[in-house]
Amino acid sequence: MTSKRPEALHPAAEYIYDWNLVERRQPVVMKGKFELHDETLRDGLQNPSVIDPPIADKLEILHLLDQVGVDTCDVGLPGAGQRAFDDVLRLCREMVDAKLNIRPTCAGRTLIQDIKPMAEVTQKAGIPIEVMTFIGSSPIRALAEDWSVELIRRRSVEAITFAVKEGLPVNYVTEDTTRSDPRVLYELFKSAIEAGATRLTLCDTVGHVTPDGVKNLLRWTRNLLRALGADHIGLDWHGHNDRGLGVVNSIWAIEHGADRVHGAILGVGERVGNASLDQIIVNLKLIGELGDRDVSKLGALCDKVGKALGVGIPISYPVMGRDAFRTGTGVHASAIIKALEKGDADLADRVYSGVPAGVFGRTQEIEIGPMSGASNVNFWLKVRGIEGSSELVAAILTEAKKSNQTLTEEEIRRVIDAR
């Protein structure tokens, strides 16, 4: 029995039996037609530990998002203050001047005072901004705020109507959708569509939902849109990662009816963060759902965001972490080296890795540490063009076995210089 191999993967995958593809579910509604939306420069900046970077860094991030094929980007809340307004305007003008493919969105409450600055930016930059107007829809939020369903509905309709009159496309965002009563959602969605909203965003604002909940909510919403004769309405998924399910929930959302998913690079955002957009991209690429999008700049994008926002990248972070493709273990290194000796770089990239490093601009790295063998040392020396005698290899291994961690380049070179 064989499994179908996604075209995005290299020939070495022919030697892998892929249980992921056995009776694999296919997207129920969109059949692979979906978009990616970035929240790094808006929701991501709401994390209390990050830096709101200068505009030069934001512009570089914008270009890298465009280069990896992200379709839309929330460029900020222009109603939050003068600096926020200026940055949003500059980013929108850059999209126009540089002829970028990525499109702008702006978030704001269901208040006219939040939407007016978006209309002003649109006029000054000459590019339509998608208004993402949000309000809480769950009973627990309504209790805390002393909101009635009618108040939520009325405020929503007023904001949407104003934005539509300004000629702006409107995405109606119900915060905490995953804990909201379907009877309330019916009233809000129906009113929003009648007022002129062209998209809806389902939010897992506090990271509550599991994949089963994603499926149930997406199917219910799609069925509602059909019943309302509103199949043309776009449907977004916005997930958070409080239970560690942000990425898998986002992919599940695509399979069950979302035509756009949101995320932030490195998963930055409030509390433990948003769904990680870079990890969503990695997984969609590996299952063959990203088409010809070039993801080779994804590493540069993650590096830039990590530095600009002051969060860095954890060493064990999937794909982009420093240790994602490093090994100092003798058995692992030996298998990689043997694959390379066969002249098969693709095989070497997969024999001890579930992610082909080369697809994402990374390489397999072999280090020397207390669990290493002679193959590690020989490879390390060969890569650097150093003649490796048996005595030198033994000396380096002796030093490695005495250490409690991987040797640094400086430590290894001290052994070499001493010979």
Torsion of CA 135, 269, 309, 99, to 10 degrees: -60
Could you give the percent of the chain with pLDDT greater than 90?
Answer: 78
Q: What is the pLDDT of residues 362-380, one digit of tens each?
A: 888 899 999 999 989 988 9
Q: Is 26 exposed, middle or buried (0-12, 13-18, 19+ CB in 10 A)?
A: exposed
Phi-psi region of 18 (alpha: psi -120 to 50; beta: other; left: phi over 0): beta
Confidence grade of residue 4 (pLDDT, cut at 50, 70, 90):
very low
Q: What is the pLDDT of residues 275-303, one digit of tens each?
A: 999 999 999 998 888 888 889 999 999 99
Q: How many CA atoms, within 13 angstroms, populate the side-chain half-sphere of residue 79?
A: 17
Q: Are the beta carbons of 254 and 275 closer than 8 angstroms?
A: no
CA 245 to chain centre: 13
- Out of 1-5, 27-31, 166-170, the most confident range is 166-170
Which of these, 239, 289, 232, lies nearest to 262 by C-alpha position?
239
pTM of the prediction? 0.91
Work out the average pLDDT over 311-332: 93
Q: What is the pLDDT of residues 94-146, one digit of tens each?
A: 999 999 999 999 999 999 999 999 999 999 999 999 999 999 999 999 999 99
Q: Which two tokens stand for residue 181?
A: 């009563």
Alpha helices in 70-148 (DSSP H): 82-97, 112-125, 139-145
Q: Is 12 exposed, middle or buried (0-12, 13-18, 19+ CB in 10 A)?
A: middle
Confidence grade of residue 205 (pLDDT, cut at 50, 70, 90):
very high
pLDDT at 314: 95
**Average per-residue pLDDT in the chain?**
92
Please report the domains of the chain, with CATH numbers, ordered by start residue: 32-308 (3.20.20.70), 326-418 (no CATH)
Work out the average pLDDT over 175-187: 98
